[in-house]
Amino acid sequence: LQWLRNPGPQHEKRTLFGDMVCFLFITPLATISGWLCLRGAVDHLHFSSRLEAVGLIALTVALFTIYLFWTLVSFRYHCRLYNEWRRTSQRVILLIPKSANIPSNQQSLLGLQSLKRNSKETIV
């Protein structure tokens, strides 16, 4: 979720949103189309020519091959973007609690350093 809130990569967010919308529309369409093609192939095997049945089976195989290829390429692309973002956008600040063992002048320096942090940094 932090990646989606990051104001930087707007193009990548639009691509992710577009791919998710396409996935939600294409998955049911591919499933229904494949089922109809296979159902037609079965009907053609029983009542009509085998050539049309083979053509429908080939169409089903091509449809699912293209669907799986698109899904895998899209998923791999977004995983690569996320891993690259995770590798380059990690900012961690270690806050040391005030202790009686640290002299007061060092405590004030630690306090000043924590005030100068960037708003994008994560406090641990």
Ordered by start, the domain boundaries in the chain are 10-66
At 30, the amino acid letter reads A
Residue 116 gets which letter from DSSP?
A: T
Instruction: With residue 106 as reference, give the H or E element that holds it.
Output: helix 104-115
- Give the position of tokens 């089922």: 35
pLDDT of residue 33: 93
pLDDT of residue 73: 94
Q: How confident is the model at residue 4 (pLDDT cuts 50, 70, 90)?
A: low
pLDDT of residue 1: 62
Residue 36 has pLDDT above 90, yes or no: yes
Give pLDDT tens digits for 66-110: 999 999 999 999 889 888 877 887 666 777 877 656 555 554 544
The tokens for 96 are: 């040391």
Q: Tell me the DSSP string of 43-72.
A: HHHHHS-HHHHHHHHHHHHHHHHHHHHHHH
Q: Is beta strand 92-93 parallel, antiparallel or unpaired with respect to 122-123?
A: parallel
